[in-house]
Amino acid sequence: MTKRQKQLYDFILRYMKKNDIAPDYSEMMKHMGLSRKSKNVIYYLLKELEKEGVIKRIPGKWRGIKINERRNTTTIQ
């Protein structure tokens, strides 16, 4: 997991713990310090987190992110 992926993953965890719902793209972009035109960056990071097995994206569902069972996320490349 890269530093950027870990940063986004940690934000998603905190957000979901606090709000009981996943953040949307604009909230993730704001947290990561990205412009409104950087939606593809968030898409890519989410896709990579899903490949890592730490999240599951739910297609067609607003805020469709599910956290998978605890995996070792301390390994940063």
CB neighbourhood size of 67 (10 A): 16
Residue 70 has pLDDT above 90, yes or no: no
Residues above pLDDT 90, as percent of the chain: 78
Question: Please, what is the average pLDDT of the chain?
Answer: 90
User: How high is the pLDDT of residue 76?
Assistant: 46
Measured between alpha carbons, how far is 39 from 57 in angstroms, rounded to an integer? 16
Instruction: Name all domains of the chain by residue range, CATH numbers in brackets.
Output: 3-67 (1.10.10.10)
The closest of 26, 28, 30 to 13, measured between CA atoms, is: 28
- Judging by beta carbons within 10 Å of its beta carbon (0-12, 13-18, 19+), is residue 45 exposed, middle or buried? buried
What are the pLDDT digits (tens) for 26-47?
999 999 999 988 899 999 999 9
User: How high is the pLDDT of residue 77?
Assistant: 46
Residue 13 has pLDDT above 90, yes or no: yes
State the average pLDDT over residues 38-58.
95
- How many H helices and E strands in the chain? 3, 2
